[in-house]
Structure 1
Protein backbone atom coordinates (compact mmCIF):
# COMPACT_ATOMS: atom_id res chain seq x y z
CA UNK A 1 0.00 0.00 0.00
CA UNK A 2 1.38 3.39 -1.03
CA UNK A 3 1.42 6.52 1.07
CA UNK A 4 -0.85 9.45 0.33
CA UNK A 5 2.14 11.57 -0.76
CA UNK A 6 3.35 8.86 -3.17
CA UNK A 7 -0.08 8.44 -4.77
CA UNK A 8 -0.65 12.21 -4.89
CA UNK A 9 2.71 12.89 -6.54
CA UNK A 10 2.16 10.14 -9.11
CA UNK A 11 -1.34 11.43 -9.96
CA UNK A 12 -0.24 15.08 -10.11
CA UNK A 13 -2.50 15.96 -7.17
CA UNK A 14 -5.65 15.62 -9.33
CA UNK A 15 -8.74 13.65 -8.31
CA UNK A 16 -9.11 10.67 -10.64
CA UNK A 17 -12.91 10.85 -10.41
CA UNK A 18 -13.70 14.55 -10.99
CA UNK A 19 -10.33 15.57 -12.50
CA UNK A 20 -10.11 18.67 -10.29
CA UNK A 21 -6.99 19.63 -8.28
CA UNK A 22 -6.55 18.17 -4.80
CA UNK A 23 -4.85 20.33 -2.17
CA UNK A 24 -2.06 18.23 -0.62
CA UNK A 25 -2.13 20.46 2.48
CA UNK A 26 -5.88 20.15 3.10
CA UNK A 27 -7.07 18.06 6.00
CA UNK A 28 -7.86 14.45 5.09
CA UNK A 29 -11.15 15.01 6.94
CA UNK A 30 -12.20 17.91 4.68
CA UNK A 31 -14.48 17.18 1.71
CA UNK A 32 -11.86 18.47 -0.74
CA UNK A 33 -9.00 16.91 1.22
CA UNK A 34 -6.91 14.10 -0.25
CA UNK A 35 -7.68 10.40 0.06
CA UNK A 36 -6.46 7.21 -1.59
CA UNK A 37 -9.02 5.15 -3.49
CA UNK A 38 -7.93 1.54 -3.71
CA UNK A 39 -10.96 0.56 -5.78
CA UNK A 40 -9.82 2.34 -8.94
CA UNK A 41 -9.23 0.96 -12.40
CA UNK A 42 -7.17 -2.21 -12.75
CA UNK A 43 -3.69 -1.86 -14.19
CA UNK A 44 -3.51 -1.97 -17.99
CA UNK A 45 -3.90 -5.54 -19.19
CA UNK A 46 -5.80 -6.36 -16.00
CA UNK A 47 -9.48 -6.63 -15.39
CA UNK A 48 -11.57 -9.64 -14.56
CA UNK A 49 -9.79 -12.82 -13.58
CA UNK A 50 -9.45 -15.41 -16.31
CA UNK A 51 -9.95 -19.05 -15.47
CA UNK A 52 -7.16 -20.18 -13.17
CA UNK A 53 -5.58 -16.71 -12.89
CA UNK A 54 -5.95 -13.80 -10.51
CA UNK A 55 -7.22 -10.44 -11.75
CA UNK A 56 -4.72 -7.60 -11.81
CA UNK A 57 -5.04 -5.49 -8.67
CA UNK A 58 -6.70 -2.12 -8.91
CA UNK A 59 -4.29 0.80 -8.99
CA UNK A 60 -4.47 3.09 -5.98
CA UNK A 61 -5.64 6.51 -7.14
CA UNK A 62 -5.87 9.97 -5.58
CA UNK A 63 -9.38 11.29 -4.95
CA UNK A 64 -11.04 14.04 -2.98
CA UNK A 65 -12.44 12.58 0.21
CA UNK A 66 -15.96 13.59 -0.88
CA UNK A 67 -15.57 12.02 -4.35
CA UNK A 68 -14.19 8.83 -2.82
CA UNK A 69 -16.99 8.69 -0.23
CA UNK A 70 -19.68 9.40 -2.83
CA UNK A 71 -18.33 6.60 -5.04
CA UNK A 72 -18.18 4.17 -2.13
CA UNK A 73 -17.81 0.55 -3.18
CA UNK A 74 -19.74 0.92 -6.43
CA UNK A 75 -18.30 1.23 -9.92
CA UNK A 76 -17.01 4.75 -10.52
CA UNK A 77 -18.60 7.12 -13.00
CA UNK A 78 -16.24 9.58 -14.64
CA UNK A 79 -18.31 12.27 -16.38
CA UNK A 80 -17.66 13.68 -19.84
CA UNK A 81 -16.86 17.39 -19.91
CA UNK A 82 -20.01 19.46 -19.42
CA UNK A 83 -19.07 21.86 -22.23
CA UNK A 84 -18.65 19.11 -24.85
CA UNK A 85 -21.33 18.49 -27.49
CA UNK A 86 -21.43 14.69 -27.70
CA UNK A 87 -24.31 12.33 -28.43
CA UNK A 88 -24.55 8.82 -26.96
CA UNK A 89 -21.26 9.06 -25.01
CA UNK A 90 -19.92 5.73 -23.79
CA UNK A 91 -19.05 5.34 -20.09
CA UNK A 92 -15.41 6.43 -19.78
CA UNK A 93 -14.37 3.91 -17.10
CA UNK A 94 -15.68 0.97 -19.13
CA UNK A 95 -13.92 2.28 -22.27
CA UNK A 96 -10.61 2.46 -20.44
CA UNK A 97 -11.04 -1.00 -18.90
CA UNK A 98 -11.85 -2.64 -22.25
CA UNK A 99 -9.05 -0.90 -24.14
CA UNK A 100 -6.60 -1.76 -21.35
CA UNK A 101 -7.67 -5.40 -21.44
CA UNK A 102 -8.06 -6.02 -25.16
CA UNK A 103 -6.51 -3.05 -26.98
CA UNK A 104 -7.94 -2.18 -30.36
CA UNK A 105 -10.37 0.56 -31.27
CA UNK A 106 -13.72 1.56 -29.82
CA UNK A 107 -16.29 4.11 -31.00
CA UNK A 108 -17.15 6.19 -27.96
CA UNK A 109 -19.47 9.02 -29.09
CA UNK A 110 -21.06 10.93 -31.96
CA UNK A 111 -20.78 14.67 -32.54
CA UNK A 112 -22.84 16.96 -34.82
CA UNK A 113 -19.86 18.88 -36.24
CA UNK A 114 -16.18 18.32 -36.96
CA UNK A 115 -15.16 21.04 -34.50
CA UNK A 116 -17.27 19.45 -31.73
CA UNK A 117 -15.67 16.08 -32.47
CA UNK A 118 -12.15 17.51 -32.52
CA UNK A 119 -12.75 19.27 -29.20
CA UNK A 120 -14.19 16.11 -27.61
CA UNK A 121 -11.31 14.01 -29.00
CA UNK A 122 -8.65 16.30 -27.51
CA UNK A 123 -10.47 16.41 -24.16
CA UNK A 124 -10.91 12.63 -24.03
CA UNK A 125 -7.27 11.80 -24.85
CA UNK A 126 -6.15 14.27 -22.18
CA UNK A 127 -8.63 12.85 -19.62
CA UNK A 128 -7.64 9.24 -20.30
CA UNK A 129 -3.94 10.16 -19.99
CA UNK A 130 -4.60 11.11 -16.36
CA UNK A 131 -7.21 8.45 -15.67
CA UNK A 132 -5.02 5.58 -16.93
CA UNK A 133 -1.48 6.89 -17.41
CA UNK A 134 -0.16 3.48 -18.46
CA UNK A 135 -2.69 3.21 -21.32
CA UNK A 136 -1.63 5.35 -24.30
CA UNK A 137 -4.55 6.15 -26.61
CA UNK A 138 -5.19 8.21 -29.71
CA UNK A 139 -8.50 9.61 -30.93
CA UNK A 140 -9.93 9.23 -34.41
CA UNK A 141 -12.71 11.37 -35.88
CA UNK A 142 -14.49 10.03 -38.97
CA UNK A 143 -17.49 11.45 -40.83
CA UNK A 144 -20.52 9.25 -41.25
CA UNK A 145 -24.25 9.72 -41.72
CA UNK A 146 -24.20 13.52 -41.39
CA UNK A 147 -22.31 13.42 -38.11
CA UNK A 148 -18.83 12.60 -36.84
CA UNK A 149 -17.86 9.45 -34.98
CA UNK A 150 -15.30 9.69 -32.19
CA UNK A 151 -13.22 6.58 -31.53
CA UNK A 152 -10.34 5.78 -29.19
CA UNK A 153 -7.53 3.44 -30.19
CA UNK A 154 -5.07 1.88 -27.76
CA UNK A 155 -1.51 2.30 -29.06
Structure 2
Protein backbone atom coordinates (compact mmCIF):
# COMPACT_ATOMS: atom_id res chain seq x y z
CA UNK A 1 0.00 0.00 0.00
CA UNK A 2 1.24 3.49 -0.81
CA UNK A 3 1.84 6.26 1.66
CA UNK A 4 -1.42 8.18 2.33
CA UNK A 5 0.35 11.55 1.98
CA UNK A 6 1.83 10.59 -1.40
CA UNK A 7 -1.54 9.43 -2.75
CA UNK A 8 -3.25 12.55 -1.33
CA UNK A 9 -0.69 14.89 -2.87
CA UNK A 10 -0.96 13.13 -6.25
CA UNK A 11 -4.79 13.36 -6.17
CA UNK A 12 -4.77 16.99 -4.93
CA UNK A 13 -6.58 15.90 -1.77
CA UNK A 14 -9.89 15.32 -3.58
CA UNK A 15 -11.99 12.18 -3.18
CA UNK A 16 -12.02 10.29 -6.47
CA UNK A 17 -15.55 9.01 -5.76
CA UNK A 18 -17.49 12.13 -4.71
CA UNK A 19 -15.00 14.77 -5.97
CA UNK A 20 -15.17 16.70 -2.70
CA UNK A 21 -12.07 17.94 -0.84
CA UNK A 22 -10.45 15.58 1.67
CA UNK A 23 -8.94 17.14 4.80
CA UNK A 24 -5.41 15.74 5.11
CA UNK A 25 -5.46 16.55 8.83
CA UNK A 26 -8.74 14.76 9.61
CA UNK A 27 -8.61 11.52 11.53
CA UNK A 28 -8.53 8.43 9.33
CA UNK A 29 -11.38 7.18 11.58
CA UNK A 30 -13.61 10.13 10.65
CA UNK A 31 -16.17 9.65 7.86
CA UNK A 32 -14.67 12.64 6.01
CA UNK A 33 -11.12 11.52 6.84
CA UNK A 34 -8.66 10.32 4.19
CA UNK A 35 -8.27 6.72 3.07
CA UNK A 36 -6.59 4.96 0.17
CA UNK A 37 -8.88 2.98 -2.13
CA UNK A 38 -7.40 0.15 -4.15
CA UNK A 39 -9.92 0.59 -6.97
CA UNK A 40 -12.55 -2.08 -6.30
CA UNK A 41 -12.54 -5.78 -7.15
CA UNK A 42 -9.08 -7.33 -7.06
CA UNK A 43 -7.45 -7.50 -10.49
CA UNK A 44 -5.53 -10.58 -11.57
CA UNK A 45 -2.21 -8.77 -11.31
CA UNK A 46 -1.57 -6.73 -8.19
CA UNK A 47 0.70 -4.39 -10.17
CA UNK A 48 -2.32 -3.03 -12.08
CA UNK A 49 -4.09 -1.70 -8.95
CA UNK A 50 -4.47 2.07 -9.01
CA UNK A 51 -4.64 3.45 -5.51
CA UNK A 52 -6.78 6.57 -5.22
CA UNK A 53 -7.64 8.99 -2.42
CA UNK A 54 -11.16 8.70 -1.00
CA UNK A 55 -13.08 9.79 2.08
CA UNK A 56 -13.28 6.89 4.50
CA UNK A 57 -17.11 6.92 4.25
CA UNK A 58 -17.05 6.95 0.42
CA UNK A 59 -14.52 4.12 0.38
CA UNK A 60 -16.53 2.08 2.90
CA UNK A 61 -19.81 2.67 1.03
CA UNK A 62 -18.21 1.54 -2.22
CA UNK A 63 -16.69 -1.55 -0.65
CA UNK A 64 -15.16 -3.98 -3.13
CA UNK A 65 -17.68 -3.31 -5.90
CA UNK A 66 -17.57 -1.04 -8.93
CA UNK A 67 -17.97 2.57 -7.77
CA UNK A 68 -20.72 4.89 -8.89
CA UNK A 69 -19.44 8.34 -9.77
CA UNK A 70 -22.41 10.72 -9.82
CA UNK A 71 -23.07 13.52 -12.27
CA UNK A 72 -23.35 16.97 -10.68
CA UNK A 73 -26.90 17.73 -9.49
CA UNK A 74 -26.41 21.30 -10.78
CA UNK A 75 -26.38 20.06 -14.40
CA UNK A 76 -29.50 19.70 -16.51
CA UNK A 77 -28.75 16.40 -18.27
CA UNK A 78 -31.18 13.67 -19.29
CA UNK A 79 -30.28 9.96 -19.30
CA UNK A 80 -26.66 10.48 -18.22
CA UNK A 81 -24.43 7.50 -18.92
CA UNK A 82 -22.65 5.86 -15.97
CA UNK A 83 -19.26 7.56 -15.82
CA UNK A 84 -17.27 4.53 -14.66
CA UNK A 85 -18.62 2.20 -17.36
CA UNK A 86 -18.11 4.87 -20.04
CA UNK A 87 -14.49 5.38 -19.01
CA UNK A 88 -13.87 1.63 -19.03
CA UNK A 89 -15.35 1.25 -22.54
CA UNK A 90 -13.38 4.19 -23.94
CA UNK A 91 -10.17 2.81 -22.45
CA UNK A 92 -10.85 -0.61 -23.94
CA UNK A 93 -12.28 0.32 -27.36
CA UNK A 94 -11.67 4.00 -27.92
CA UNK A 95 -14.07 5.86 -30.20
CA UNK A 96 -16.97 8.00 -29.05
CA UNK A 97 -20.02 7.70 -26.84
CA UNK A 98 -23.11 9.81 -26.35
CA UNK A 99 -23.13 10.34 -22.59
CA UNK A 100 -26.17 12.58 -22.05
CA UNK A 101 -28.96 14.57 -23.65
CA UNK A 102 -29.58 18.21 -22.78
CA UNK A 103 -32.54 20.52 -23.53
CA UNK A 104 -30.38 23.51 -24.52
CA UNK A 105 -26.97 24.24 -25.97
CA UNK A 106 -26.03 26.09 -22.79
CA UNK A 107 -26.88 23.04 -20.66
CA UNK A 108 -24.83 20.81 -22.98
CA UNK A 109 -21.85 23.19 -22.90
CA UNK A 110 -21.97 23.32 -19.08
CA UNK A 111 -22.20 19.52 -18.96
CA UNK A 112 -19.25 19.17 -21.33
CA UNK A 113 -17.06 21.52 -19.27
CA UNK A 114 -18.01 19.75 -16.02
CA UNK A 115 -17.37 16.30 -17.50
CA UNK A 116 -13.90 17.21 -18.80
CA UNK A 117 -12.99 18.70 -15.44
CA UNK A 118 -14.32 15.66 -13.53
CA UNK A 119 -12.55 13.17 -15.80
CA UNK A 120 -9.28 15.06 -15.43
CA UNK A 121 -9.33 13.86 -11.80
CA UNK A 122 -11.26 10.59 -12.07
CA UNK A 123 -9.37 9.20 -15.09
CA UNK A 124 -6.33 11.46 -15.59
CA UNK A 125 -4.68 8.94 -17.93
CA UNK A 126 -7.63 8.95 -20.37
CA UNK A 127 -7.32 11.60 -23.09
CA UNK A 128 -10.81 12.72 -24.14
CA UNK A 129 -12.60 15.62 -25.74
CA UNK A 130 -16.26 16.58 -25.62
CA UNK A 131 -18.53 17.54 -28.45
CA UNK A 132 -22.08 18.90 -28.48
CA UNK A 133 -24.32 17.82 -31.35
CA UNK A 134 -27.74 19.19 -32.23
CA UNK A 135 -30.31 16.41 -32.61
CA UNK A 136 -34.02 17.04 -33.14
CA UNK A 137 -34.65 19.80 -30.61
CA UNK A 138 -32.16 18.52 -28.07
CA UNK A 139 -28.40 18.51 -27.73
CA UNK A 140 -26.27 15.40 -27.35
CA UNK A 141 -23.17 15.47 -25.19
CA UNK A 142 -20.54 13.26 -26.80
CA UNK A 143 -17.32 12.04 -25.22
CA UNK A 144 -14.54 11.05 -27.64
CA UNK A 145 -11.23 9.38 -26.84
CA UNK A 146 -8.19 11.07 -28.36
TM-score by length of 1: 0.88
Q: Tell me, what secondary structure is at the counterpart of 2:48?
A: coil
Q: Is the 8 A contact 2:40 2:65 kept in 1?
A: no
Which residue is equivalent to 2:23? 23
1:113-149 CA deviation, whole Å, 9 max, x = no partner? Answer: 0000000000001001100111121100000011000
Asked if residue 134 in structure 1 is aligned to residue 132 in structure 2, the reply is: no
- CA offsets 1:9-41 (integer angstroms, 9 cap, x no match): 111100000000001111100110000000259
**Does structure 2 retain, via aligned residues, the 8 Å contact 1:40–1:60?**
no
* 2:51 paired with 1:57: no
Query: In 1, Cα distance between the equivalents of 2:30 and 2:142?
Result: 38
Unaligned runs of 5+ in 1: 42-47
Q: Is residue 106 of structure 2 the alignment partner of residue 118 of structure 1?
A: no
Cα RMSD of the aligned pairs, angstroms, is: 2.0
CA distance in 2 between partners of 1:87 and 1:56 (Å): 38
| Aligned residue pair count | 146
1:85 offset after TM fit, Å?
0.4
Unaligned runs of 5+ in 2: none
Q: State the shift of 1:55 in Å.
A: 9.3
2:100 is aligned with 1:109: yes
Give the whole-Å Cα distance in 2 for the aligned partners of 1:3 and 1:140. Answer: 38
* 1:28–1:55 Cα change, 3 Å: closer
1:11 equivalenced with 2:27 (yes/no): no
